[in-house]
Each structure stands twice: as C-alpha cells, then as structure tokens.
Amino acid sequence: MPEQQFFGAPASPGLAVGVAWRPAAEFETAAPVGPERREAERDVALAALQRTVEVLYELAATLPAEEAEIVETGAMMGQDPVLVSAVEKAVLAQGLSAAQAIVRVANRHADAIAAIGDELLAARADDVRSLGRRAAAVARGKTTDVSAVSNAVLVADDLGPADVAEFASVLSGIVLAGGGPTAHAAIVARSLGIPMVTGAGEPLEAVRDGALLVLDGSSGAVVVDPSADRARRAAEGMHVRRLASARASELRDEPATTTDGWRITVLANVASAAELDVALGAGAEGIGLLRTELAFLDAERWPTRQEHAEVLDSILGRLGNRPAVVRVLDFGADKSPPFLHGVPQRGLELLLAHADALADQLRAILAAAQRHEVRILLPMVDTAAQLARTRELLEDVAAELGIDAISPMGAMIETPTGARNADEIASRSGFLSIGTNDLTSATLGADRFSANDTQAHHPLVLRAIARSVAAAHDAGIRIEVCGEAASNPLMLPLLVGLGVDELSVGAARVGHVRAWVRQLEMKHVAGLARSVLTMDSAEEVEWTVRPLASELEARVAGPAPIAPVGS
C-alpha cells in the first residue's frame, strides 16, 4: 500500500516505528440491572473504583516525583465523594451496570471540567475519562492484557497518564486523536522517553489495527504504511537514542568540557530520589534545582520544619559530596496547594508575606547544610530589597540554631524586572539562576503552558539572559540556567556562548546535554551568541543557529526527522 501521511501536534520528541494497537473497548452494552440486584451491583462499582485507586497509587510509585504527582491526583479523583455518589445513584436509581455507571459518570464529570475552557483543567478531564475506563474494566473483571503486545504504537482518542505508565514497556510510540502537548499523558511520555503525537484528529480513525506506523514526536508527523526505507530509518533512530543513553552512562565520570577546554557544570532538576538516581547515572554533578514545593501540592497548610527535613533527607542523603541547590517553596500560579488557591502572590513575594512558614523551611535547609553542600535559591526575585529581607530572616534563623557558616543564598531571575535589576541583585547574591520558562513567557507576554519554551531564543529573552550573566560575573559569582532552555539544542550553544557557568536539566536529559557540550567550541559559540543579540526576531536567530542545533541533535537522535511523503 502507498504511504499516507498526516500531522498532529508534537508532544514528546523522537522517532518511532511500530504496529498500530488500540486497547480493548471500554465495555459492552448491558441490559438494565433489576431492582433486586442493584445493591450488589453498586458494591461492584464501588469496589472497582477503590481497586483502581490502589492500582494508580502503585503505578505512581514507579514514576519520578512530578509524574507521580500527576498520577496520584488522578487516583484521588476516584475517591471524590461527588463522583462516588453519582456512580451509586446511577446504579441504584437508573439500573445501570457497574461499568456503565462508572464510565457515564466519569465522562459527565470530564465534560464539565473541559467545558470550563481552562487548559490545565482540560488535562484533568482526560485523567477523569481514563479513570472511568480503567475502573469499568475492573468492574467487568477484564483488564488490558499487554503480554502479547510488543513494539506497538498506541492509537486512541485520548489517554490518561496512568495508561502511559502502565503500557510503557510495550510501546514504541503514541498517537492520539485528541489531547495536546501539555496534557498529563504527554508529560509522562516525555519523562519515560516515549515519542508521542497528539491532536491527530479524524485521519487517525481510518488507521487499521496492525498497520505499520512511523511517527515523529518532534514534528508531529505520522506515516501509515511507510516504505521499507522510511521504517528502517525510524528503527535506526530508536536504536541510536538507546545507544546514546547507554553511552551517556559510560561517560558519566567524564567532565562536560568544550573542544577548546571550557568547563561547564551539568546538574539536574529533581524533586525525588528516583529522578536523582537517573541523573547521577548519566553523570549529573549534583542538583541544580531541588523543587521542594512538589512534595506539598496537596498540603492543607504550610509544611512544618520536620516535614521539610524529611523531604530533604530523602534526597540529599543520596548525593554524597556533590552540591545541591535547594529552592524554597515556589508556590503560586499552577503550583498552588488547596490552602493557597486564589492567592495572587507567587514565589518569594508570597513567602515573605508568610515569614513564619519561610523560617521553618530555612531551619530545615540550614540543618541539612551541616551535613551536605547546600545553596539556597529564592524564586521570582525582582529586587535587591527582597533579598535583604530574606537575608535578615536567614541570619536570625542561623543565630537561633547556633550556626555560624550560612549557606550561600542566590536569586532566580525569572522576570523582566529581575533582569533589569540584575546588577543590584547580583551584588547581594551568592549566585544567580535563570528560570527561562517564566522569563520567556513574561518577556514575550506568552502563555507559560504553550510551546513558548521554543521561543527562549527570541532576542529579547537572550538580551535579558546576557544582562544577567554579565551582572553575575561582574559581581564575581556563578550563574546557572535551570529552565527548559538548558536542554534545548537550539539554546544550549547560545547559553554556553553567553558565558553561563552551570546548566541544570531534567534527569533524562543530563547525558544528552553533557554530550552536546563536548561537541562545542567555546570560541565559535561565543561569537555566535554575540551575533544573535543584535537580531530582531526569533526566526532570524533560529535560521542562524539551526545548522549547529541539528548537528547536535543528530549525534543523539540518529536519522533526520520524517520527510514529507513523496519527497
């Protein structure tokens, strides 16, 4: 059969080839349940929900912290009293079977959430539908048997994060008719390294089970019935990526040094011991961003000193003599626990308004710093005055604990205001860190949850980074980048060329970034960085840097992305 091609949204990078596989249908139509059997059927439904919740928590335990939190939140939905009550009524009052009641109620809840029109809530809608499908299968005594499945490209309308985690071992890729790059399923797929395309729409309905598919999670292209040559190149791409991961592990003790001897420190962004283990295995030289808030997103109150200490000990104890940058709670925006919903402040501004809570965390960090090499990072810093207030609180806590040597305290540059004040902020900091996600969205006025991380190479953002680097070096301190741009092959040469000292990246990207740094010449990328600062658009910057970025990607990802059918 001739090749057919269609496009969706790129959601998780990489090439994949495999046979189309659709998990079993949710449930078959069933006759109404008679009154005499409804209470028993109700019990089946509730037991199925409870068992599904248990399975989801078991799956979450196998994932890194950020992805585990997503799956755990989905599990909590299975215990939502409103949903549970609605399932009971659907069985007792309407005579629906347990499976029918669960799916119908879950879909209604999901539709209501999606109708609100919020992108983050829309991701939760997919999770609720996934919960309903899984619990309905349990109610019927049927679960998806993946033992006979291998090298599959999962094809579905939508998918929940737990589904991705459960099927990961048999999947080469995922294509969804709906969803988007910010959906929770996509976040988990990226974490597990599974290429994924979302939003493929109607063309996906015509894909037959068992058809050979090639997908490019970087461009969104999907090819049905690919030519032998195209399938071979995709398979080579998968193989090369696996080899690159293995090679990164072999070279984990080799420094990340440019071809002309410029040394870059590569650290890891982590929130759990599992992530740290992955990062250290790939050669991470420590933690560049410990996201302490992710452990407390379901908290009903501010965490205590003891709770902070337990989180720190579980992670820092695995570091040995490596350093760690511990960020104080960055609550606010999309990271608000229930007791802070609706509160407009974020980051350091929010913490300074709750100084007692900040003091408790500082007590735990300073205590941990007596056993480990720790730097303290303050989020969303706009002014030196904020640093001065925090420094005063830190010194009070240190005096209270009888600690003379206080850990270095640094500021995150994440706003245009912070970048403009970088000189003054740097003069009062022990180090600086650039959060490119927020800096990009604030500088360009973009949605932080869109694909705007690819616009970190906009000249306006690059100039803000350059100002921050210059301010740090003028003050004689080091500067790191801990946002998504640090592992973007288009941005990496520019960051190195601008003089960034440290790069902190996701655990799964540590090996790639270290390998890329070793392929750069500092003299070349410094000149490249100077030239793009004078440009007018992101497109002009990309046109200039793309050849080098493509070369870096090719060393890790193997063959080039999917070319248009017929080319």
- Are the beta carbons of 190 and 12 closer than 8 angstroms? yes
Cite the beta strand spans of 70-205 per DSSP E: 152-156, 171-176, 196-198
Selected catalytic residue, list 109, 184, 308, 372: 184
Is the CA virtual torsion 484, 511, 252, 295 positive or negative? positive
Q: Residue 218 in contact with residue 10, Cβ under 8 Å?
A: yes
User: Closest Cα partner for 297 from 12, 125, 76?
Assistant: 76
- Which one is catalytic: 109, 457, 458, 482? 482
Give CA–CA dist 481/40, Å, rounded: 58
Do the beta carbons of residue 277 and residue 318 sit within 8 Å? yes
512 annotated active-site:
no
The residues, any chain, with a CB within 8 Å of residue 251's CB and separated by 6 or more, are 283, 511, 514, 515
CB under 8 Å to 285, separation ≥6 — which residues? 265, 266, 267, 322, 323
- 482 catalytic per annotation: yes
Yes or no: say if 21 and 209 are a contact pair by the CB < 8 Å rule: yes
Q: Which long-range contacts (CB under 8 A, 24 or more apart) does 275-280 make?
A: 275/64, 275/65, 275/66, 275/506, 275/507, 276/315, 276/318, 276/319, 276/507, 277/318, 278/64, 278/507, 278/508, 278/510, 279/507, 279/510, 280/252, 280/318, 280/322
Residues recognised as catalytic: 184, 482
